[in-house]
Amino acid sequence: MEKTVSPAKSAITYGIMFGAIMILELVIMHITKPDPLEMSWVSMVVNLFNWLILPVLFISLACNNFKKNHNGGFISFGQCLKIGVSVAVVAAVLYSIFYLVFTMIFPEFIPDAVAQVERVTRAQNPDMPEDQLEMSVSMVSKFMQPALAIPISIVMNAFIGLIISLIVGAIVKRDNPAAAN
């Protein structure tokens, strides 16, 4: 009977690292408070990292770690999918727990962020009707509340993890010929 190795160890390890980096970004952004009107590139870079670069990096690392260190140089497409989605979900859950605690410790975080969004929206769209601005700011406020932000974050990360895992899996998969028998 052949021993099967779970991809969970690689997924959890790299998911924790990914989540820790997203937490660090949140803390740094909160401490430095970059002005979005003067430094709009900062949020673009953070979003690029969180939604593209870091997921590709950590899913690739986790798949290759499992393949080389835990599975004798082999990894199936399905294992890549499991690892990738797991990395993304572990990172999102870790970040979400921190976000919940962070918003409790710093209750001004969400109102300050919403006020900043309103200020930027007014500056970028000076002709926007007041009722449309209020509706926009209200939606931002709702989506920043942990009760809505946490499940959305987990689902979005799982989806992004799935898409990236499909791509990474197509590249790194190497089926074990002995397993086919």
pLDDT digits (tens), the chain, 181 positions: 456 678 899 999 999 999 999 999 999 999 999 988 888 899 899 999 999 999 999 999 999 999 999 988 999 999 999 999 999 999 999 999 999 999 999 999 999 999 998 999 999 889 999 999 999 999 999 999 999 999 999 999 999 999 999 999 999 999 888 766 5
- Using alpha carbons, select from 46, 62, 55, 63 the residue that is nearest to residue 19: 55
For 105-134, letters b (16+ CB in 10 Å) and e give eeeebbeeebeebbeebeeeeeeeeeeeee
What φ, ψ does residue 126 adopt, rounded to 5°? -65, -20
CA distance 54 to 67: 20
> What is the pTM for the complete model shown?
0.91
Beta bridge partners of 75: 174
| Distance (Å, whole) CA 64 – CA 171 | 11
Return all residues near 78 (Cβ < 8 A) that are at least 6 apart: none
